Amino acid sequence: MSPGFQGRRRSSGPALPPGQYLTEDFPVLSAGPTPKVPLDTWEFVLGAESGAEFRWSWPEFTGLPQETPTVDIHCVTRWSKLGTSWQGVSLDALLDGVDTAARYALVHSYGGYTTNLPLDDLRGGRAWVVHTYDGAPLPAAHGGPARLLVPHLYLWKSAKWVRGIRLLVDDQPGFWETAGYHDYGDPWREQRYQGD
Ligand SMILES: Nc1nc2c(c(=O)[nH]1)N[C@H]1C(S)=C(S)[C@@H](COP(=O)(O)O)O[C@H]1N2
Ligand SMILES: [Mo]
């Protein structure tokens, strides 16, 4: 009997969602080429359903209050990576003062990639726009200058080279969701594909 082990397992839960395996390296998964995004033209645009737009240049964005999340990430191709360290701006900070009744968000990337999620999933300290990985500027292959990070959903929701988020009254599927991936993508409920 090992009550200590049992207790620890119960309080922290399993580390890996169902069907996932652990990886130590950091695979690159991109549906197309890596776009070049110069910092002097980079901007992040939040568009509300009213048409109102909120824009941040690179200096404005990096001047916002910073957070340093350490999170586990889970790719639908079944690899998971534990304890990844990032730095960036919480979506709570970006959404602060944005007047909206929208319930959905469509995330847009430089290069044309899109992905959708409920606006609530961007709130509550669960989503960031990150520019630093493991203490260094985010490599372009992993989404630099900046990517979305929403670790409680499969990693295809964490759009690389993020350029903006549109707030929508009606849900609108993104790139992989249109191709048959699950609309929500909760790794703990193994929502990989439509119908899961
Ligand atoms: N812009 C963009 N973002 C993207 C993708 C993409 O092809 N383009 N791929 C997604 C998928 S399927 C995964 S698993 C992760 C992979 O991130 P990584 O390459 O940093 O591991 O990015 C997601 N974000
Ligand atoms: Mo993925």
Domain containing 78 — which CATH number? 3.90.420.10
Show the domain range for 101: 21-28+40-189
194 in a structural domain:
no
Distance CA 150, CA 53 (A): 22
2 in a structural domain:
no
pLDDT per residue rounded down to tens, the chain (196 residues): 444 444 334 456 678 999 999 999 999 999 999 999 999 999 999 999 999 999 999 999 999 999 999 999 999 999 999 999 999 999 999 999 999 999 999 999 999 999 999 999 999 999 999 999 999 999 999 999 999 999 999 999 999 999 999 999 999 999 999 999 999 999 999 999 999 9
Structure token digits, residue 24? 């130590």
In this prediction, residue 14 carries a pLDDT of 76
Closest Cα to atom 12, ligand 1: which residue? Answer: 156
Structure token digits, residue 167? 């707030």
Tell me which long-range contacts 168-173 makes (C-beta under 8 A, separation of at least 24): 168/49, 168/102, 168/103, 168/104, 168/105, 168/106, 169/49, 169/101, 169/102, 169/103, 169/104, 170/104, 171/103, 171/104, 171/116, 171/118, 172/104, 172/106, 172/116, 173/116
180 in a structural domain:
yes
Closest Cα to atom 20, ligand 1: which residue? Answer: 142
131 in a structural domain:
yes
Residues with CB under 6 A from ligand 1: 26-31, 75, 109, 111, 113, 142-143, 155-156, 158-161
Instruction: Using the mean position of ligand 2's atoms as its centre, give its distance from the Cα of residue 16 in Å.
Output: 16
* 91 contacts: CB under 8 Å, gap ≥ 6: 122, 123, 126, 127, 128, 129
Neighbours of 11 (CB within 10 A): 7
Distance CA 16, CA 156 (A): 17
Instruction: Using the mean position of ligand 2's atoms as its centre, give its distance from the Cα of residue 124 in Å.
Output: 24
Instruction: Using the mean position of ligand 1's atoms as its centre, give its distance from the Cα of residue 82 in Å.
Output: 17
83 in a structural domain:
yes
In this prediction, residue 12 carries a pLDDT of 61
Distance CA 23, CA 120 (A): 29
Closest Cα to atom 23, ligand 1: which residue? Answer: 156
155 in a structural domain:
yes
The DSSP 8-state label assigned to residue 28 in this structure reads: -
Instruction: Using the mean position of ligand 1's atoms as its centre, give its distance from the Cα of residue 27 in Å.
Output: 10
Structural domain count, the chain? 1
* 113 contacts: CB under 8 Å, gap ≥ 6: 31, 32, 159, 160, 161, 174, 175
Closest Cα to atom 22, ligand 1: which residue? Answer: 156
**CB contact at 8 A, 100 and 40:** no
In this prediction, residue 8 carries a pLDDT of 39
59 in a structural domain:
yes
**CB contact at 8 A, 162 and 156:** no
1 in a structural domain:
no
Instruction: Using the mean position of ligand 1's atoms as its centre, give its distance from the Cα of residue 165 in Å.
Output: 16
